Each structure stands twice: as C-alpha cells, then as structure tokens.
Amino acid sequence: MEQVSSNKAHGGEQNVYRHASTSTGTDMTFSVYVPPHEAGAKLPVLWYLSGLTCTHANVTEKGEFRAACAEAGVIFVAPDTSPRGPDVPDEDRYDFGTGAGFYLDATEAPWAQHYRMRSYVEEELPALIAAEFPMADIARQGITGHSMGGHGALTIGLRNPDRFRSISAFAPIVAPMQVPWGETAFTRYLGEDRAAWRAYDACALIDDGASAPELLVDQGLSDNFLGDGQLRPELLEQACERAGIDLTLRRQPGYDHSYYFISTFMADHIAWHAERLK
C-alpha cells in the first residue's frame, strides 16, 4: 500500500493511498480520514461511495466531513467508483465505463475482467483497512453514498446486514432496474437476464426480503435528475412501507445534486451514523 498524500485536518489525518487490487486487476486509490484519538482506541468506520464521474477525490475535497468525524470519532473511508487504467475497457459516455462502475461485479465481456467493484468494496478493501489501520473497529461499520454511490450504499448495506449497522444515502438511485441509468449499465455489465439485476436494486432487494432496521435518505427537490426520472425516491418509500422498514426520507427544498447539497447535510449523516455505531 503506497501513501499518495497526507494532510493534518481537525486534529486528525487525511491520507490518500494506492494499492494493487486483486479484485479489479488494477491499481486502486482511496482516501481515509482518521480523527484524533487516544492510543489504543478503536473507532467505528463509515464508508462513503461516490457517484457517476467521481473518484475518491470529490468527497475528500468537497464533502466537508472532517469536522463532524473528528467530533464523533468516526473513521471515513472513500474508495474510487471504478477501475482505471490503460487496459480497462471504457466508453465515451459519463454514465457507463470508467467512473461508472455501479458497485457491481460484471459478468459480461469485456467488462467482467476488471469491473468488480462489489468484490472490491464488500471484501478486499475492508480486509485491507482492517489489516493496515489497527484503530479501525470493523465490527462497527456504517455506509453512505451519493447518487450511484447511494445505490451502492443501499444495496451493499442491505446485502450485508450483519456487517453494516447503519445505512444512509444522498439522492440515491433507488430502483436502477426502472430508470435509464441502471438499464443501460445493467444490460451491458450483467446481460439480459433481469433476475440477475435484482441483487443490485435496493427496491428489488427489499421486495425479495432484504431488510435493515432503518434508513436515512436526503433528496434535494431542485435536483435535475429527480425531474428527468433517474431518481425515484417514492419507489424506495413504497418498498420500505411494504416491508416495514423505518425510512426517514427528507425532501430538501431548493437543493440540487451537487456537493453544495451533500456538504450541507453531511454532518447530519455522520452524527446519525455515529449514534448507531456507539
């Protein structure tokens, strides 16, 4: 594991690392903020998954999470959104290929060789964090994310209820099987069998029996992707009502899809996770 950068922030350390991933067959970069803590302390871990076109750097530079993490004593881990490199297949579009891994394990050629973000986020990177960061309490993990990353947070959290004590999201893609973004990506990554898509759709997972004690979601009402049908928070609302899951869906007037929106409510989410990770 190679350290790319290190900065002091709010009494803790904001570091960026690179390592050779066995899941993706590429080098992967991620950031970790470790808040100030006493020697020997064990701290809960909050995962943040970024959205389409992003890397680890978007939230690291614009998320405004460090003060809240320092106050709550929470480690903040932000991986990349997809594999990258000269040998990684890509297409000249923002919603598929590099920057658009959708946190799944692709099964179709040529994507299956490298696009294995589910394995990377669910298995490989947590094992690396546990091995390299002795202060990280892997028994206390929460997960959150934005847009495509919100989709990743919901689906990974719902598939792993014993691992994640808390799940939240900012403007998530909650039903990718029913919106253009997801239909494009799933057809190319996973093939035509829509039954195979259900493991990567939060609403379908809930209808198929996946559950969580509670979920927190923030959605800006001036989000342009809400208006064009890519985001369907009402479908998550309906699925949670059918399943008896306690969903707090906060519709925020005037807020869009940007990091101005995310950074405004980031501290709320960190405090919410910290309370559940005590």
The runs of H, that is alpha helices, within 108-190 are: 117-119, 125-132, 148-159, 180-190
Contacts 24+ apart (CB under 8 A), 138-141: 138/45, 140/44, 140/45, 140/165, 140/277, 141/44, 141/45, 141/46, 141/47, 141/165, 141/277
Dist. CA 172–CA 167, nearest whole Å: 12
Work out how many domains the chain is built from and give that number. 1
Scored b (16 or more CB within 10 A) or e, 107-130 reads: eeeebeebbbbbebbbebbbebbe
> What does the pLDDT read at residue 184?
95
Dist. CA 257–CA 272, nearest whole Å: 21
Range of the domain at 184: 2-277
- What is the percentage of the chain residues whose pLDDT exceeds 70? 100
> What does the pLDDT read at residue 227?
87
pLDDT digits (tens, 9 = 90+) for 67-121: 999 999 999 999 999 999 999 999 999 999 999 999 999 999 999 999 999 999 9
Catalytic residues: 147, 223, 257
Kindly report the number of other CB atoms within 10 A of residue 59's CB atom: 26
Q: What is the CATH number of the domain that holds 231?
A: 3.40.50.1820
Dist. CA 219–CA 151, nearest whole Å: 13
> What does the pLDDT read at residue 237?
98
> What does the pLDDT read at residue 161?
95
**Residue 257: band (very low, low, confident or very high) from pLDDT cuts 50, 70, 90:** very high
Residue in 23, 54, 35 with CA at minimum distance from that of residue 125: 23
> What does the pLDDT read at residue 268?
98
pLDDT digits (tens, 9 = 90+) for 261-277: 999 999 999 999 999 99
**Residue 191: band (very low, low, confident or very high) from pLDDT cuts 50, 70, 90:** very high
Residue in 130, 263, 106, 249 with CA at minimum distance from that of residue 189: 106
pLDDT digits (tens, 9 = 90+) for 165-183: 999 999 999 999 999 999 9
> What does the pLDDT read at residue 238?
98
**Residue 242: band (very low, low, confident or very high) from pLDDT cuts 50, 70, 90:** very high
**Residue 241: band (very low, low, confident or very high) from pLDDT cuts 50, 70, 90:** very high
> What does the pLDDT read at residue 79?
98
Average pLDDT, the chain: 97
pLDDT digits (tens, 9 = 90+) for 12-48: 999 999 999 999 999 999 999 999 999 999 999 999 9
